[in-house]
Amino acid sequence: MCLAIPMRVIEKQGEIGKVEQGGVVREVSFALMPDVACGDHVLVHAGFAIERLEAAEAAETLALLRELMAAGEQEAGGD
């Protein structure tokens, strides 16, 4: 029930606007996330944008994941 889909904001007029993902366009309410702009990526749940997805924070998880993968490769190479 708590499913939320990442989508890109393509239109915003006050609290109402449109988001897009893979060619699918949906109307959404920005009542819970008023400070987003066109081009931002948001999570959409039950017709509402509930959070903005932040690239900088994604980069930190990405770095951790790459570190773990590199460590695994080293270990595999040394076996």
Partner 1 sequence: MTDERAALAALLRSADAASALARAIRDLAEGLGTVRLMEVCGTHTVAIRRSGLPSLLPESIELLSGPGCPVCVTPDEDIDRAIAMAGLDGVCLCTFGDMLRVPGSSGSLERARASGADVRVVYSPLDAVALARRSPERQVIFAGVGFETTAPTVAAAVRSAAGLTNFSVLAAHKLVPPALEALVAREDFSVHGFLMPGHVSTIIGSDAYSPVARQHGVPCVVAGFEPGDILLAIWMLLRQMRDGRAEVEVEYRSAVRPEGNLRALELMGSVYEPVDSTWRGLGAIPASGLGLRASQAAFDARLRHPVEVAPSKGRPGCRCGEVLVGALRPDGCALFGRSCTPATPIGPCMVSSEGSCAAYYRYSR
Contacts to partner 1 by CB under 8 A = 1-4, 6, 29, 31-34, 41, 43, 45-48, 50-51, 53-62, 64-66, 68-69, 71-73, 75-76
> How far is the C-alpha of 36 from the C-alpha of 26, rounded, in Å?
16
What is the separation of C-alpha 48 from the centre of its chain, rounded to a whole number of angstroms? 14
Least distance to partner 1 from the beta carbon of 11, Å?
A: 17
Largest interatomic CA distance in the chain: 59
**Residues 30 and 17 sit within 8 Å (Cβ to Cβ):** yes
* Residue number with CB closer to partner 1 (13 or 57): 57
Least distance to partner 1 from the beta carbon of 25, Å?
A: 14
